[in-house]
Amino acid sequence: MADRTELLEAALDSLPDGIAVLGSEDEVIFWNQAAQGITGYSAMELLARPIPEGLAAISLEQNRNAECGLDKEQPEGRRRLVEVRHKLGHGVPVILQTLVLRDGLGERIGAARVFHPALSLDALPHSETAGEQDTEENRIEFEERLQTAWDDFARGGSPVGVLWIGVDQGEDLRRTHGASACHAMLDKVRRALTQGLRPAEEMSRWGDDEFLVVAYEHSAEMLAAHARTLAGLARTADFRWWGDRVTLTVSIGAAQASDNPAETLAQLLERARAAMITSSREGGNRATIAPGSHQAKPATENSTCSLS
């Protein structure tokens, strides 16, 4: 029978995330198969040695030129988007989490670094222009949470869906009243939408006139009902600019992650964006369920619900 150490190593080797366990002197004492696949370095090259400078990570969250090597302590428990140096010399974006290991007395005895590729982050579909009001740091943090939600679902976790929300009056308001009016209007819409979010949900600007919500409804029907609720809240937002009252409506594309194991996060977002465009082209103020969304019971795909 295998001993506990062998069982533990086998379990860590089976994980899709890269796992690096470091001793008290930051020497590598365990390096799993996923870590080798991500970085190109084998366990035999690194065991009992400090992590080499070639694995220095460059922070993408604050300053791409500020080095924060994997051999330097990261904020405990916090996920960070960083770039590690592959053995072949190219950079590999990863989401990294550092866990400090302590003994029964609370003394630090080592650390664990958990990381997985984030190559898909830059490839995620956005609007043609990024939200001007959101900082780069906020965008990256939201994309990390979006990626984490998707990874959890892919491993058999909670159902996940996205709502791609476009403000129907955004372009016209920017043209007729200017950028300041548009920013004020989007802030009003954001606050209205926030009132209808579930406690675990995340929302962020996803373009000049667009928002994205990460939702955890159990079916496409529930996601569509949630979308209609949010659209109603946006419609009740009372927005005035220099005495002019502007009626606000939104077009929403709802996409629930499917049971298709080949689907990617980018494809889920593309389905949501296409459904949002359908809502907009059909007059706005409506929600459309994207084709391919998992249904709890038979329903017509790409069904559009007018909210007028």
The answer to whether residue 98 scores a pLDDT higher than 70 is yes
Same domain, residue pair 48 and 150: no
pLDDT at residue 117, rounded to an integer: 77
Structure tokens at 232: 């109603």
Mean residue pLDDT across the chain: 80
| Single residue among 117, 151, 169 that ends a domain in this structure | 117
pLDDT at residue 173, rounded to an integer: 87
3-state secondary structure the chain: CCCHHHHHHHHHHCCCCEEEEECCCCEEEEECHHHHHHHCCCHHHHECCECCHHHCCEECCCCCCCECCCCCCCCECCEEEEEEECCCCCEEEEEEEEEEEECCCCCEEEEEEEEEECCCCCCCCCCCCCCCCCCHHHHHHHHHHHHHHHHHHHCCCCCCEEEEEEECCHHHHHHHHCHHHHHHHHHHHHHHHHCCCCCCCEEEEEECCEEEEEECCCCHHHHHHHHHHHHHHHHCCCEEECCEEECCCEEEEEEECCCCCCCCHHHHHHHHHHHHHHHHHCCCCEEEECCCCCCCCCCCCCCEEECC
Same domain, residue pair 265 and 237: yes
Same domain, residue pair 113 and 141: no
Same domain, residue pair 92 and 231: no
Q: What is the mean pLDDT of residues 167-184?
A: 88
* Span 199-252, pLDDT tens digits: 999 899 988 889 999 999 999 999 999 999 999 999 988 888 887 888 899 999
Q: Residue 128 domain-assigned? A: no
| Single residue among 117, 152, 181 that ends a domain in this structure | 117
| % of the chain surpassing 70 pLDDT | 79
| Total residues found in the chain within this entry | 308
Same domain, residue pair 151 and 289: yes
* Span 7-42, pLDDT tens digits: 888 888 888 888 999 898 888 999 999 898 888 899
* Span 238-276, pLDDT tens digits: 888 887 888 899 999 999 998 888 888 989 999 999 999
Q: Residue 125 domain-assigned? A: no
Same domain, residue pair 169 and 290: yes
Same domain, residue pair 272 and 201: yes
The whole-model pTM stands at 0.61
Same domain, residue pair 190 and 270: yes
